[in-house]
Amino acid sequence: MADQPILVAVPADTFDHGNYRWHATPSTYLDALVEVAGAVPVIVPALLPRMTIAPLLDRVDGVLLTGAASNVHPERYAVPASRAHEPFDPERDRLTEALIKGALERSLPLLCICRGHQELNVALGGSLATEIQEIEGRMDHRHLPSHDQRERFAIRHEIALEPGGSLRDIVGEAEIRVNSLHRQAIDRLADGLAVEARAPDGTVEAVRVKDAANFAVGVQWHPEFWASTDEPSRKIFQAFAAACRAFAASKGRA
Ligand SMILES: N[C@@H](CCC(=O)NCCCC(=O)O)C(=O)O
């Protein structure tokens, strides 16, 4: 059983393209999982409640939630929907809630990126603020208006990692510079989460599930994009991969 690769579940976004309904995810997350984490990504279609994800969660070694331009539907945190909350992907909302809860129940390592970080907060009972660049005192966290991905994912601002936090331990630095591609952010922090990093305007940039038995972290930025060249991004993916490998070993799979 030696050297079996770790399997990491990744939720699909849903959208219409051509004549079809698609369930797909951007390659950048898959590339980082393959190249930096040494994982085999398993894209999970957003077909709940027509399918169940329990059998899949019983076979994988970790869960990675991706970012997306769509937003968590605000009715999930008891706020009426408005145009400012669009666009939505309710099929993904259903899937990621089940993935988060299923991963935490099984003590599966969980890395939640951008929309995933926001989904983690909502799944555990927190809420989100929308169009945060319009809130007094807040920075503009949106990406540069460009079609060049390296410009869109360019490093934009510093974040301070909480002293004594697990992310500070993983990264080994008190402050790092990150990219930024979001217009929503954590508003009310879920009781079960601890803040791991903040932007200069107070935005919650990273969280950890307080009573998780394993790696369970959300980050508002995108470590996947620079995971092969940026040291803090690489360390986050390597820490997630190490937790997945340890989980696989505990199940006799590595
Ligand atoms: N939609 C939410 C979450 C932001 C997010 O996940 N961004 C990734 C987008 C990637 C891209 O635009 O290429 C928000 O806006 O806060």
Q: Coil, strand or helix: which one is 133? A: helix
Query: Which residues form the catalytic set?
Result: 114, 222, 224
What pLDDT, in 10s, does the model give residues 111-138?
999 999 999 999 999 999 999 999 999 9
27, 29, 112, 115, best to mutate for ligand 1 pocket (most atoms within 8 Å of CB): 115
User: Is 0.85 exceeded by the ipTM?
Assistant: yes
**Domain with residues 6-250, CATH architecture:** 3-Layer(aba) Sandwich (3.40)
Query: pLDDT digit string (tens) for 64-119?
Result: 999 999 999 999 999 999 999 999 999 999 999 999 999 999 999 999 999 999 99
| pLDDT for 49 beyond 90 | yes
Confidence of residue 1 (pLDDT cuts 50, 70, 90): very low
Identity (one letter) of the amino acid at 56? L
206-213: long-range contacts (C-beta < 8 A, 24 or more apart)? 206/117, 206/159, 206/161, 206/165, 206/167, 207/117, 207/120, 207/121, 208/165, 208/166, 208/167, 209/104, 209/110, 209/120, 209/124, 212/104, 212/107, 212/110, 213/107
- Cβ of 67 less than 6 Å from ligand 1: yes
SS percent in the chain: helix, strand, coil, step 5: 30, 25, 45
Q: How does the average pLDDT of the chain come out, rounded?
A: 97
Residue nearest (by alpha carbon) to ligand 1 atom 6 = 67
